[in-house]
Amino acid sequence: MECAHSLVHRLSALLLLGGVLIFLRQLRRGPVRYGRYACSKYTIPARWAWFLQELPAFLVPVLLACTTDGSTHGRRLLLCTFTLHYFHRAIVYPLLIRGRPIPAFIVVSSELFCFFNGILQSHTLLHCSSEFAVYLPSLVLFRFFLCSVAGLCLFALGMILNIHSDHILRNLRRSGETVYKIPRGGLFELVSGANFLAEILEWFGFAVVVWNLPGFSFFFFTVCSIGPRAIGHHRFYLEKFPDYPRNRKALIPFIL
């Protein structure tokens, strides 16, 4: 399969535009309505919802990698970071959660997004990397460290913090409890949206290590889609709990 240079640019631009639109939508109407903000009568159990909506972003890269000849081991390694995240989200995470049912329209839209983004990221890495990479000939060693080592470290740190933050949230309530509690420990001591900050850090690391437009577009979309949600969570906690730690920020430690 050959890389369609203009198509990848257009799809990346579409992802950037989608990020702007979802950010503006949340500024006007508040966080996307799932989880504590859900108000739909058509819902899917949380475990099935997470499995169905995240699975395309795992399966599409795996299938493309298995059917692609000629791509380097380096490109496949970079793609492994993407598939590792979605393996956890689609296979492991649904087995652990006890969350509320998710509106069906959220599941369908997330599934379509994961399918779209899975194709864009894996196709670019497997077929177009050499055309979309940004080269710094005079700073080869610096670029290698920045893009490869630092990017992978940021991705790994973000994923570890994300898993740990999810663990804290899962264990806030005992089985059968419905009351909200203040999350404590880990990154939650700094920000209300610890799980969101961790995922943003993951995809920032991914964008750095792949060093291409689709990777940056996905990072930008992630910030626009879950950043406002973290701010909404922070306001929720402040309103609900008079004793909520006032030194915590919403998303960025000590700043926002």
The DSSP line for 173-236 is S-TT--------SGGGGTBTTHHHHHHHHHHHHHHHHH-SHHHHHHHHHHHHHHHHHHHHHHHH
User: What value does the mean pLDDT take over residues 88-103?
Assistant: 88
Which long-range contacts does 213-216 make (Cβ < 8 Å, 24+ apart)? 213/8, 213/9, 213/12, 213/132, 214/8, 214/11, 214/12, 214/15, 214/120, 214/121, 214/124, 214/132, 215/121, 215/124, 216/12
Closest CA to 53 of 112, 125, 8: 112
CA distances from 221 to 22, 35, 228, 252 (A): 8, 20, 12, 17
The pLDDT, as a whole number, for residue 3 is: 63
Tell me: pLDDT of 24 over 70: yes
The pLDDT, as a whole number, for residue 212 is: 87
The pLDDT, as a whole number, for residue 17 is: 95
The pLDDT, as a whole number, for residue 132 is: 43
The pLDDT, as a whole number, for residue 166 is: 92
Q: Kindly report the CA angle at 14 between 152 and 194, in degrees rounded to 5?
A: 45
Tell me: pLDDT of 157 over 80: yes
Lowest mean per-residue pLDDT among 50-64, 136-150, 151-165, 239-253 = 136-150
Ranges assigned E (strand) in the chain: 43-44, 102-103
Going by pLDDT thresholds of 50, 70 and 90, the confidence category of residue 156 is very high
Higher-pLDDT residue of 141 and 106 is: 106
Average pLDDT, the chain: 84
Higher-pLDDT residue of 134 and 248 is: 248
Measured distance CA(148)–CA(226) in Å, rounded: 26
Percent of the chain with pLDDT over 70: 83
Measured distance CA(58)–CA(73) in Å, rounded: 19
Higher-pLDDT residue of 148 and 208 is: 208
Instruction: Give bridge partners of residue 249 from the DSSP assignment.
Output: 191
User: What value does the mean pLDDT take over residues 148-176?
Assistant: 88
User: What value does the mean pLDDT take over residues 76-98?
Assistant: 90
Lowest mean per-residue pLDDT among 21-35, 53-67, 108-122, 209-223 = 21-35
Q: Identify whether the C-beta of residue 54 lies closer than 8 Å to the C-beta of residue 89.
A: yes
The pLDDT, as a whole number, for residue 42 is: 81
Tell me: pLDDT of 153 over 80: yes
Going by pLDDT thresholds of 50, 70 and 90, the confidence category of residue 77 is confident
Lowest mean per-residue pLDDT among 74-88, 121-135, 225-239 = 121-135
Q: How many residues does the chain have?
A: 256
Measured distance CA(35)–CA(192) in Å, rounded: 16
* Model confidence pTM above 0.75: yes
Tell me: pLDDT of 55 over 60: yes
